[in-house]
Structure 1
Amino acid sequence: MTDRLLPPGATASWLQWAGGRVRLLRGGPGTDVGSDRPPVLLIHGGGYDNAAISWSRVFGPLARDRSVIAPDLPGFGDTEGIEVSGDPDELADLVVGVARSTGINRLVVVGLSMGGDIALRVALRHPEAVAGLILVAPGGLTPRLRNAPTQLAAWLAARLPDPVLFGLGRVAGRFTDSYLSRMVHDPASVDAAIRTEFGREARRPGSGVGYGRYNQATLGPRRMRNNLLPQVSRIAAPTLFLHGVDDPLVDPIGSRTAAAVMPHAELVLVPDCGHWLPVERPDVFLAHANDFLTTLP
């Protein structure tokens, strides 16, 4: 669709993949810039997100002096025709395969929320491919949701028949302004172009399937199946955690706990910020990201 949001500095292309195609946003001077500027892979979050939404305000600045790629995951955006399993390990393998198909074998992986869970798995499953990690309010770092009843209720909801589950998702997609307001500390920080694309994504046929399948794959009746806290100490890559202090969706305690046990990790807690740091505080995200990128060996 020609009216879809496209971040400044990005061009959209499609890769044939597993019987379908992956939309890939690309920018920057290419992969042969030099070893001191590793390419960056951006992995978006769940819900009604896609690669253009969460990274729209930071893609261009990141791509000024390095190659940047950002795929739409299966079930999101303009990626189509690929089986949507929602399994975060499979998604980690997919994004690494997509990067390698463009000639990139080693990169900095940046993941937001659900994308942070996937980025952590890239580092665990493909350590040779990871020059560094930037994790923004990452998922995959909690043993259980708030309490046992909440965990059980979420698991039961994810087990609803597809027509009911995704029908409810389409109803919820009519209230995107309310949904957005709960994600951020200051709703005024979300500009009109992002709101429009978020609403368009919510109304897209098949919207919600990607995140629904992810929840089905990761929610258990008593605990989270994707909890990586017992494994993250194995990640040796330099890692930067960025987490809004006022995040209403992902408790910063997971980032705090993981950063404490990873050998080369740093945590930055951002005051007056909710879940969506690259959208609501892009200047803060870019300042810390660029400082981190310049220190990588």
Structure 2
Amino acid sequence: MAARRMTLAVYSDGPETAPVIVFLHAIATSAKLWDPQIEPLAQCFRVVRIDLPAHGDSPALPKGASFADYADAVAAAITAHGIDRFSLVGMSFGAMVAMQIAVRHPLRVERLVLACCAARTPSPITAMWLDRIAAVERGGMATQVETSLERWFTPNFAAASPDTLDWVRAMILSTPSAGFIAAARIIATLDHVPLLHQIEVPCLVVAGEHDKAAPPEAMRAFAANIRSAVFATLPTAHLANVEAPDAFIEAVTRFVDGR
């Protein structure tokens, strides 16, 4: 379905009267990252996917935008589509934005899923992000493709799924360098730990068992600071919704349905 052009690009599938699930994607991807979830979920839910700022078809926010600015831009885009209450699913960078939405707009979020993400960026990882920014400034998004794919998928899945990797590779290459750099700069300064105790909505934290970008032990530790959180793992690396789409859908739907 074509996007209805608002501040951010928003895509909606499924009955407009059904319960709404909003999906936020990882850095260097777009709303297309959720394509594996559309068909099965749109039978029972209104599936809303958003291109985060300067990703996909969305414009950039002003220079220096913070996680709070990203969160407010997403909330405004959802409002513009006539949606008040919704469940919210974030993957990686999208989950970092989702944490802010749950804190800044708590009356709107019914249930929250945080997948394959961090709540704080330690100094060695900050240095890694700064190196990645410098690489993109020198050589564009092509510098991020192979290292990202290695982090995002287990070797067995990568070897068995070349078409899927080509699809993700194309998303990375189509991401504007400026969009990647803006997101990477705020990821490098990430510290949402002080916000975690403010998340009151029911929360599912999903980790990939083989995720080196967001290790499950680190995710379990930050989930312990969210009073409402339950923790689950999937047998994947970083992009759990792509590597294990059926298991991811099952975990999300059971949680959103309150089962």
One fold, TM greater than 0.5? Answer: yes
Task: Show the counterpart of 1:6.
Answer: none
What do you get for the CA RMSD once the two structures are aligned?
A: 2.4
Matched, 1:288 2:243: no
Q: How many angstroms apart in 2 are the aligned matches of 1:189 and 1:85?
A: 40
1:129 aligns with 2:108: yes
- Report the 3-state secondary structure (helix = DSSP H, G, I; strand = E; otherwise coil) of the residue aligned with 2:26: coil
Partner amino acid, structure 1, of 2:30 = N
Work out whether 1:51 is the aligned partner of 2:31: yes
- Which one of 133, 137, 141 corresponds to residue 166 of structure 1? 137
Structure 2 counterpart of 1:15: 5
1:29 matched residue in structure 2: 15
TM-score w.r.t. the length of structure 2 is 0.89
**2:136–2:177 Cα contact (<8 Å) kept:** no
CA separation in 2, counterparts of 1:229 and 1:209?
A: 27
CA deviations on 1:58-105 (whole Å, 9 max, x unpaired) are 122121111111111121112236546552211111111111111111
Contact 2:234 2:244 in 1 (8 A): no
The equivalent of 1:201 in structure 2 is 171
CA distance in 2, matches of 1:191, 1:86: 36
* 1:5 corresponds to: none
Task: Count the aligned residue pairs.
Answer: 257
CA distance in 2, matches of 1:177, 1:154: 15
2:242 is equivalent to residue 279 of structure 1: yes
Question: Deviation string for 1:179-210 (max 9, x for gaps)?
Answer: 32331112146462x43443333333x62322
CA drift of 1:151 comes to: 4.3
Instruction: Check if 1:142 corresponds to 2:142.
Output: no
Q: Is the 8 A contact 2:208 2:240 kept in 1?
A: yes
1:147-296 aligned at under 5 Å gives the runs 148=123, 150-151=124-125, 153-154=127-128, 156-157=130-131, 160=134, 165-173=136-144, 176=145, 179-185=148-154, 186-188=157-159, 190=161, 192=163, 194-204=164-174, 207-219=176-188, 225-271=189-235, 273-295=236-258
When residues 94 and 187 of structure 1 are mapped into structure 2, their CA distance, relative to the original with a 3 A threshold, is: same
Q: C-alpha deviations, 1:81-134, integer Å up to 9, x for none?
A: 654655221111111111111111110010000001000100011101100001
Q: Which runs of 5+ in 2 are unaligned?
A: none
Instruction: Pick the structure with more helix per residue.
Output: 2
Corresponding residue of 2:51: 72
Q: Aligned AA for 2:29?
A: D
Say if 1:195 and 1:118 are closer, same or farther in 2 by CA, change over 3 A: same
Give the AA of the match of 2:3.
Answer: S
* Structure 1 residues 189 and 262: CA distance shift in structure 2, 3 A: farther
C-alpha change, 1:124 and 1:78, in structure 2 (3 Å) is: same
Indicate the SS of the match to 1:261: coil
- C-alpha contact 2:208 2:234 (8 A) present in aligned 1: yes
User: Which string of whole-angstrom CA distances, capped at 9 and with x for unpartnered residues, describes residues 220-263 of structure 1?
Assistant: xxxxx321122211211001111111102112233212221222
Larger-Rg structure: 1
Cα pair 2:37 2:249 within 8 Å, conserved:
yes
Structure 2 letter corresponding to 1:235: I
**Given residue 187 of structure 1, which amino acid in structure 2 is its aligned partner?**
A
Percent of residue pairs identical? 24
